[in-house]
Amino acid sequence: MQRSSPIWIAVAMAALGAIGCADEGVGDPCTPETVPCNSEGQDCGYKVNEAYIEATSVQCRSRLCIVYKLNNKSGGTAPSDPRVPCTGNASDADFCVDDENLAKSVYCTCRCDTAGVKTDLDVCKCPDGFTCEPVLNLGGPGIIGSYCVNKAAIDP
């Protein structure tokens, strides 16, 4: 009768553990489905001093698309909508976001800390280029806490 070597058992366990670790897709591109507006349905757009989390994004493995302090005033008076592609036409110049701002401010994220709120939901570890930043301090236990944020959005 042959016995399994402890090394082979450790290798097998490590391989199974690696399969169980899910890549959250932090940093993958996403496009928000909605753009926030005031209570009258006007003044729509993102504010450069705020962060928005869309918790139902089918584009993201984590289902979380973040718009983090998007600089969406591209020289015009109206806030830009990241869903509008930039074509370079003068007519859409006020309503488009350049690729650099889009990449550093709009992407898939995951919750990396629950801010002490008791929850059964898992938290993730932020990949290289991202840091765990407090984003939501209001809301239910399923969303409150810190999220992986692109370091380029913090240190421009």
Sorted by where each begins, the domain ranges of the chain are 23-154
Structure confidence at residue 132 (pLDDT): 96
Structure confidence at residue 150 (pLDDT): 95
Structure confidence at residue 106 (pLDDT): 92
Q: What is the pTM of this model?
A: 0.72
Structure confidence at residue 93 (pLDDT): 55
Structure confidence at residue 87 (pLDDT): 54
Chunked in runs of 10, what are the mean pLDDT values of the chain (156 residues)?
44 39 82 79 76 92 92 53 56 65 90 84 92 90 92 81
Q: State the Cα–Cα distance between residues 115 and 134, nearest whole angstrom.
A: 8
Structure confidence at residue 60 (pLDDT): 95
Q: State the Cα–Cα distance between residues 30 and 130, nearest whole angstrom.
A: 16
With tokens 């020289």, the residue in question is 75
Residues whose CB falls within 8 Å of the CB of residue 94, separated by 6 or more in sequence, listed in order: 74, 75, 76, 77, 78, 80
User: Could you tell me which of 80, 79, 83, 87 has the C-alpha nearest to residue 54?
Assistant: 83
- Phi-psi sector, 94: left (phi>0), alpha (psi -120 to 50), beta: alpha
Q: State the Cα–Cα distance between residues 87 and 118, nearest whole angstrom.
A: 46
- Using CB atoms within 10 A of its CB, is residue 156 exposed (0-12), middle (13-18) or buried (19+)? exposed
Spatial contact of 154 and 66, defined as CB atoms under 8 Å apart: no
Q: State the Cα–Cα distance between residues 25 and 71, nearest whole angstrom.
A: 23
